[in-house]
Structure 1
């Protein structure tokens, strides 16, 4: 009877946490709506537009910080903050390299977070072979995409910086995706993969592989905000799962 009562209590606690997390994310949803309401493709770059664009990411950082505390600063919170810096830089085309550098740091911080003890994973041998196979597939896809993009990178201004810079960036985002697979957290994995898809679509437009689509930026931003949301929620859930795992080990 005690076990049943404890299980029911845990389920109520998880429901309460999910509701509290949803309400804490309402400012993020509101700021995202404001961005898409105010955004126009031909708007002049300004401090206000940079602030509106980066606000959802900064609000996500505040949510993760409030749930997980200061130890997450060198992890998902730090990654979200650097992503917001990248958001601001990409408002101005001449700051593209700076924005790419900020996002590269963000991916590195995400990777460090996914390696941390907060992400409890089952290291059973039955699934490790599949994990290694997914690693390999992700690395191969990253290499193939860089090879495909290479001729286009040579044609753009600052190609001497972009050719190696994009290669490093693809390596870091591929590492982030691979480590997200290692966590075995669905939200974290989906967020990382959607982030990669968003950046892939952005690169195809920025480097003139495809013509700029009418709603191309909207597709990039929708997938980008969704990816950041899933990574943030995954980090919060990882702490909850770790606490539940610790309770189970003590029982």
Structure 2
């Protein structure tokens, strides 16, 4: 019951922020932006881990860092660095839960995505003489690619969906900021971002299947 109430509250407050909060004043906009993330952290805290308490603790730390990043993203490089740290926590959490090797097809797709984004987004900054920003973008692409990679290795559906939504959100934001304007950018970015964090938080309650010595016997 508590989980359903929290999820409903997150969706409502996210919709209020996305569709009804004006750009000014900035302080109020930031405050309203943080409310859904605070509720997502509460959702994570009230989710019973079915496999690992360590995973839960690391995910909550990642969510908290991302919430801070939401507040400082208006200073772009500060936000980029803070989100970078948040992804490190997610990588550590997913690494703790990883169970399977990376499928070849998924590895190829992720590497193609990373190379394409680096060439397109970071390349445009290098071409315009923004060397530091270009390097920062390459580093960020590397960290979010690693986060997606580790999520896939967990074979946890909720974690994988969350990671891919996070990558989608950041891709839309980067393209809009550095290449060309995307219609309904704010809706696309924030809706996919909040959804990503919800899925990652909910992955705390994922059921993980481990194999015993006899692979015909499943231990849940």
TM-score w.r.t. length of structure 2:
0.84
CA displacement 1:81-112 (0-9 Å, x = unmatched) = 1111111112x3xx100111111111111111
Report whether the alignment pairs 1:188 with 2:159.
yes
Where do 1:210-225 residues align within 5 Å? 210-213=180-183, 215-225=184-194
Counting matched residue pairs gives: 212
In the TM superposition, what is the alpha-carbon distance from 1:38 to its structure 2 partner? Answer: 2.8
CA displacement 1:12-56 (0-9 Å, x = unmatched) = xxxxxxx5532332321232122124323xx22522211111211
Where do 1:148-227 residues align within 5 Å? 148-154=120-126, 159-207=130-178, 209-213=179-183, 215-227=184-196
Larger Rg: 1
Asked if the contact 1:50–1:88 (Cα under 8 Å) also holds between the matched residues in 2, the reply is yes
Report whether the alignment pairs 1:107 with 2:87.
yes
Aligned partner of 1:8 in structure 2 is none
Q: Structure 1 stretches of 5 or more lacking a match?
A: 1-18
Larger RCO of the pair (alpha carbons < 8 Å, separation 6+): 2
Aligned partner of 1:3 in structure 2 is none
CA displacement 1:89-141 (0-9 Å, x = unmatched) = 12x3xx10011111111111111111114x6x4x4xxxx4x613312321232
Aligned partner of 2:115 in structure 1 is 143
Q: Structure 2 stretches of 5 or more lacking a match?
A: 213-217
- Distance 1:133-1:46 versus aligned 2 partners, 3 A rule: same
Asked if the contact 1:65–1:72 (Cα under 8 Å) also holds between the matched residues in 2, the reply is no
In the TM superposition, what is the alpha-carbon distance from 1:203 to its structure 2 partner? Answer: 0.3
- Distance 1:61-1:166 versus aligned 2 partners, 3 A rule: same
The structure in which a higher percent of residues are helix is 1
Deviates more, 1:54-63 or 1:167-176: 54-63
Asked if the contact 1:61–1:76 (Cα under 8 Å) also holds between the matched residues in 2, the reply is no
